[in-house]
Structure 1
Amino acid sequence: MKGIIIAGGNCISIEKLKEIIPDFDIVVAADSGLKHLNAVDVKPDYLVGDFDSVDKSLLAEIDISITSVVRHPVEKDKTDTELAIDVLNELNVDDITILGGTGYRLDHTLSNIFSLRYIYDLGLNGTIIDEYNSVTYIRGVNAVSMKNEGTYISVLPISDIGAEISLKGFHYPLDHKCLIMGSSLGVSNYIVKNEGTVICHKGEALIIKARD
């Protein structure tokens, strides 16, 4: 079962949002992410947050027969996005996509990106997407295969020990290469065959698919 969280940051185009929403079994709005769903006339299954930034007129229009409202205090230990992740985890989803998780607030953007590790620790698949990027998390002995979509692929180590990475089917292949944290060696690669594979042998890394 697949769940999607719509947060309040930069979202994808209205046309793409309309196209992908039906692919998900459960739709969760995290606070002001409600505005993006309102733009495509979609009622979320859940609305989660402290509601400090959501448009109050939109909040007043919520039909509780359609949308379950999960309200939290403003002073809390988790972000609205992380609270939305908890809701989906309790609903036994297998896969979580976050939209609107990136934007002008760099602290929120980084927090949302690092929430992919939290999702992974829950035993779920997690992805953050916006108009230009898709971000996933990989750790330990693991592999991610992807189709050639003409995008840049970057592998960024995020653990103290770095990440030991192999890249198959890429213009710049790697074979058990240790990327230290802060290294730019894994930035702006691309797939040269129909499919490429990122293999993590140890450590932790983010895999970012990006387009200009």
Structure 2
Amino acid sequence: MLGIVVTGGQAPSLGIIKNELDDADMIVAADSGLDTLLSYGYEPDLIVGDMDSISNRKILEKFHRSKILLYPEDKDYTDTELAINHLYEKGCTSVVVIGGGGGRLDHLIAIYSLFFRERAPVRWITDNEKIFLVKGSFCINLKINTVISLFPVTGQLCSMTSSGLKWPLDELEWNPGDGGISNVSSERTVKIDMKSGKLVMIIPLDDN
């Protein structure tokens, strides 16, 4: 069961994520992500957040109150995190975050930090990048020479094997804070098998 969170910040064009929106079992707009979602021509199943950054609160009047979960501005969780948690509580088995690019660095780090959580997104798509959660056996088809960066998102040692990369990961053991920038796909199919831990893979949006 696929859940989508559309959040505030810079987002990809509709053509990039239309298939994901069409395949979603549930779409949640987090705060000003509602503006983005409506600009795509889609309506949310639920709107979540404190609505402090939405373009115009009057937009909410077109939605039934049962579709709006309004939170106070002073809270312990970000709107994006609240939306992700709600989707998992509703039975989603994977969650994709759309938007959240550009803007404040602390907002970017806040979304990135969600990959460390038990209820982590499986993908995050901004206006410039695609970010994938890599755990267990991971396989992705890419154009040859796609630039790939990888970072641990776990408190434990990361040990892995790989194929399809110019610089294999087989002999590496990464601690938190380690990682690899600007690796390159040498084959169309890149495979990573995690012996322990989990990673995020970041690739440029323009390339794939």
Which bin holds the TM-score, normalised by the shorter protein?
A: 0.7 to 0.9
- In the other structure, the counterpart of 1:154 is 149
Q: Structure 1: where are the runs of 5+ without partners?
A: none
Q: Indicate yes or no: 2:71 matched with 1:77.
A: no
Matched residue count: 205
- In the other structure, the counterpart of 2:39 is 39
> What's the TM-score, normalizing by structure 2?
0.87
Q: Structure 2: where are the runs of 5+ without partners?
A: none
Q: 1:62 to 1:17 in 2, by over 3 A?
A: farther
Q: 1:11 to 1:202 in 2, by over 3 A?
A: same
Supply the distance in 2 between the matched residues of 1:182 and 1:101 (Cα, whole angstroms).
Answer: 23
Identity %: 29
Query: In structure 1, the residue corresponding to 2:53 is in which secondary structure?
Result: coil
> What's the TM-score, normalizing by structure 1?
0.85
Maintained 8 Å contact 1:11/1:100: yes
State the Cα distance separating 1:178 from its structure 2 match: 1.3
State the Cα distance separating 1:187 from its structure 2 match: 1.6
Maintained 8 Å contact 2:10/2:100: yes
Q: 1:126 to 1:58 in 2, by over 3 A?
A: farther
Supply the distance in 2 between the matched residues of 1:183 and 1:86 (Cα, whole angstroms).
Answer: 28
Q: 1:58 to 1:103 in 2, by over 3 A?
A: farther
Maintained 8 Å contact 1:17/1:40: no
Equivalent position to 1:209, from 185, 203, 207 = 203
1:89 alignment partner AA: Y
Maintained 8 Å contact 2:162/2:168: yes
- In the other structure, the counterpart of 1:130 is 126
State the Cα distance separating 1:39 from its structure 2 match: 0.9
Aligned CA RMSD, in angstroms, stands at: 2.3
Query: In structure 2, the residue corresponding to 1:155 is in which secondary structure?
Result: strand
Query: In structure 2, the residue corresponding to 1:104 is in which secondary structure?
Result: coil
Maintained 8 Å contact 1:113/1:135: no
